[in-house]
Amino acid sequence: MVDSLKVVIAQNIRDTNTVNAYRMLSGIMASVDPEEGMKYGKQGVALSKSIEWDKGTAGCLLNLAVNYVLKEKLDTALVYVKQAIEYSHKVGDPNRLALVYLNRGDLYMKKQDFQRSLEDCEVALKYAELANNNDRRARILQTIGSINFYQLQYTKALDYYGKALVLYEELGNDRMAAIIHNNNGNIYKRTKEFKKAEDSFLKAIDIGLELGDNVNLSMYHVNIADVYLEENQNAISNRKFVEQNSL
């Protein structure tokens, strides 16, 4: 796909197809070479502005921001996301607005500005409802769950993760369902509910194996290993406590 998109760009036609090629290349390159992804994103923004295509500008700005996130330049990413929100409002598509507000909410969460993060998620959820988009709803609910997790509000986090899980399962998005099970496992590990943690991580592992999701499987296996290690250490500690108090 990368080569075919580069062919489109090489034709040097100043139209929406070329903007889309820049946008897609910026998104594809983000996880491979963010510097290259930034270059394509900026070229897409410049072209879309010159042909006055707001939808293309919004998309290129958002992908440009993702590249800066992966380079851990969060403040710069925030600038581009704010611009993406501005152009998304010009377009007026609730699906896109839900996405850009969610992205900014995620950025604020990374910066540990949880109040602003939650505010953006609430706006994003409003637009997801207008669009009747369950994928958007699920991702927003998941992010709200994570906001609560980072603030140690585990009961709330489990509630939002649970709502997101229902939607992911309805959508057949098994990969994201596994991630939710993993998130639940991390909460139960924190609260020392090791059996629940084990069950959650095993669910994530089972789904990961079915999907062949090797990237996330390594994380799931590390997490369940931590549970077994911590559970064993607790058992040893409890045994020593009993021994000491029986003397």
3-state SS of 159-174 is HHHHHHHHHHHHHCCH
The string of pLDDT tens digits covering residues 171-198 is: 999 999 999 999 999 999 999 999 999 9
Domain count, the chain: 2
Residue 211, domain member (yes or no): yes
**Of 49, 79, 109, which marks where a domain is finished?**
79
Residue 241, domain member (yes or no): yes
Q: Which residue range(s) make up the domain with 73?
A: 1-79
Task: Dig out the tokens for 200 from the structure.
Answer: 């959650």
- Domain with residue 188: its CATH number is 1.20.58
Q: What is the mean pLDDT of residues 137-164?
A: 98
Angstrom distance (rounded) from CA 197 to CA 181: 9
DSSP secondary structure string for all residues of 112-135: T-HHHHHHHHHHHHHHHHHHT-HH
pLDDT of residue 243: 41
pLDDT of residue 231: 82
Task: Dig out the tokens for 241 from the structure.
Answer: 């406590």
Q: At what angle do helices 114-131 and 134-150 cross, to 10 degrees?
A: 160
Query: What is the maximal distance between C-alpha atoms in the chain?
Result: 86
Residue 195, domain member (yes or no): yes
**Of 30, 60, 79, which marks where a domain is finished?**
79
Task: Dig out the tokens for 217 from the structure.
Answer: 């499987």
Length of the chain: 247
DSSP secondary structure string for all residues of 189-236: HHTT-HHHHHHHHHHHHHHHHHHT-HHHHHHHHHHHHHHHHHHHHHHH
pLDDT of residue 236: 52
Rounded to an integer, what is the distance from CA 37 to the centroid of its chain?
18
- Closest listed residue to residue 204, CA positions, set 57, 215, 230, 73: 215
Residue 58, domain member (yes or no): yes
Q: At what angle do helices 54-70 and 94-110 cross, to 10 degrees?
A: 20
Residue 149, domain member (yes or no): no
Residue 16, domain member (yes or no): yes
Confidence of residue 92 (pLDDT cuts 50, 70, 90): very high
pLDDT of residue 233: 72
Residue 242, domain member (yes or no): yes
Residue 212, domain member (yes or no): yes
Angstrom distance (rounded) from CA 132 to CA 153: 28
pLDDT of residue 232: 79
Those residues whose C-beta lies under 8 Å from the C-beta of residue 197, and which sit 6 or more positions away, are 185, 186, 188, 189, 224, 227
**pLDDT at 40 > cutoff 60:** yes
Rounded to an integer, what is the distance from CA 246 to the centroid of its chain?
51
Mean pLDDT, all residues of the chain: 94
Q: What is the mean pLDDT of residues 22-28?
A: 97
**Of 48, 79, 110, which marks where a domain is finished?**
79
